[in-house]
Amino acid sequence: MKANSLAVFNSNDIMPTNADGTMPFRQNNNIFYLSGVDQEESILVLFPDAANEAHKEVLFLKETNEDIAIWEGEKLTKEAAYATSGIKTVYWLQDFEKIFRTMAFEAGVIYLPDNEHLRASNQVETREDRFRDWCKKNYPLHTYERVSPLVNYLRSVKEPEEIELMQNACNITAKAVDRALKFIKPGVMEYEIEAELMHEFLRNRSRGFAYTPIIASGFNACVLHYIENNQECKDGDVILMDIGAEYANYASDLTRSIPVNGKFTDRQKEIYSAVLRVMKSANKILQPGITLANYHKKVGDFMTQELLQLGLISQSDVDKEDPSWPAYKKYFMHGTSHYIGLDVHDVGSWTKPIEEGMVFTIEPGIYIREESLGMRLENDYVVKKGGNIDLMSHIPIEIEEIEAAMNS
C-alpha cells in the first residue's frame, strides 16, 4: 500500500430468495482471509500509517443482543472477535461512519476492492459495490486505488495453514470418492451418486460441495458444465464426476471418469490412458518460473501428440491449424489448470511467473461427442520446486485402482 493510505473490506450480504427466505451465508473471501471473521455485516479497515496506534487495524461488527442470540444464535463479541482475528480494536457497526470519518480525513489514499476475476460476471449489487459508491460520494477528493491486485497476490501464495486446510478438504473428498466407487452400478441415477457424495461430505464436517457438482454419465460427460445430474447411468457408459468438498471455507476440486459397470472397455482404456499421460506430463512442467500461458501451450503440445496417436486428428489438421484455436481444441476445448483456494477458481495473476506455494488444479480431458465419451481427470497440486505436492495422491486414479475399488 502507498504511504498514508487505508483499505476497506466488507463482508458479503445475506442474499434473499423469496418471501422471507435467504440463501446460506458465504463470507467474502478477502475479509475472511485477512481477519478470519466469518460473519455478515462486518467491516475491516487497515490503516498502517494511522497516528492513533489503535486505528492501524480495526474491525466493525454488528452489535449482538438477546433477541439475535435467541433467533439466529451467538454472534461475535468484541472479545471473541479479538480471539479470532488478533485485531485488538473492535467497534460496533453503528459507530462506523463517525470513526471512519476521522480515519479518512487523516488518510490521503483509500484502497477499495472489486471482484477482479477474469470469469466474474456480477448481476447483482454487492455490499462492496454499495460501499464503494457511498465512499466516493462522501469523500470525493480522496485518491482511490485498487486493492484487489495486492490481495489477489497474497491469496495466490498459500500459507502452510491454508495448505493443511485444503489437504483436509481433499481427504474428505477421498472418503466420498471411495463411497461412490462402491455404490455406482448400472441403473443408478446421477442424483443418487450426488447424494452419496454429499452424505460423506456432511458427516466429515464439510459444509458440502465447494461448487455445483457435475455427475455426468454417457453423452452428458461431453457437456462441460452439465449440472442437471438427473439421468440414469447405463451399462457400458463412463460417468464423469467433477466434485470436491469444502472445508473451513477452502475448496477442493477433483474429477474422475469411471466405468458405470466397474470395467473399462479397451476403447475407454485407450482414451483414459491418453488423458492420464497428459496429466502426468503437465505436472512435471507446472513449476516455479513458468507462466500460465506458456504452460498451457506446452500442455496443448502434449495433447496434440496424444490425439495424433489416437487418430482423432491428423498431421494435416495440425499443419493447417489456426494458432488461436489449435487442432487439439476440437477434443480438448478448456484450460488445463486454475488457481484453487478460498475460491474453487481462486484469484491470482495469469501473466506473472508461477511461484512456489501456489496451488493449482491439473485437469486435461478428451471429449468425443460422436462416441458419447467424455474423459477428464483432475487433482490439486501445491507447486514446489523439484516436484509438486499432489493433495489427492491417495485417491484412486490408475485404471487398475479404479476397477479394483469398484469391484472390491
pLDDT of residue 393: 98
Cα angle, residue 262 at apex, residues 260 and 268 outer, rounded to 5°: 75
Whole-angstrom Cα distance, residue 269 to residue 271?
6
Nearest to 198 by CA among 245, 150, 147: 245
pLDDT of residue 72: 81
Q: Which residues, 6 or more positions from 359, have their beta carbon under 8 angstroms from its beta carbon?
A: 158, 163, 166, 339, 340, 341, 346, 380, 381, 382, 383, 391
Q: The C-alpha cell of 297 is what? A: 501451450
Query: In which region does residue 320 sit, left (phi positive, over 0), alpha (psi from -120 to 50) or beta (all else)?
Result: alpha
Q: The C-alpha cell of 255 is what? A: 474429477
pLDDT of residue 273: 98
Say if CB 233 and CB 188 are below 8 A apart: yes
Active site residues: 20, 225, 242, 253, 334, 338, 345, 363, 367, 376, 378
- The domains of the chain are located at 5-156, 160-406
pLDDT of residue 155: 97
Fold of 160-406: Creatine Amidinohydrolase (3.90.230)
pLDDT of residue 185: 98
**What type of residue sits at position 195?**
A
Say if CB 163 and CB 359 are below 8 A apart: yes
pTM of the model: 0.95
Residue 169 CA, chain-centre distance (Å), reads 12
CATH code of domain 5-156? 3.40.350.10
Mean pLDDT in each 10-residue stretch from start to end of the chain (408 residues)?
97 93 94 97 98 98 85 89 97 97 97 85 87 97 97 97 98 98 98 98 97 98 97 98 98 98 98 98 98 97 98 97 96 97 96 97 98 98 97 98 96
Whole-angstrom Cα distance, residue 368 to residue 328?
12
Helix (H) or strand (E) holding 327: none
State the alpha helices, DSSP H only, in 286-393.
292-310, 315-319
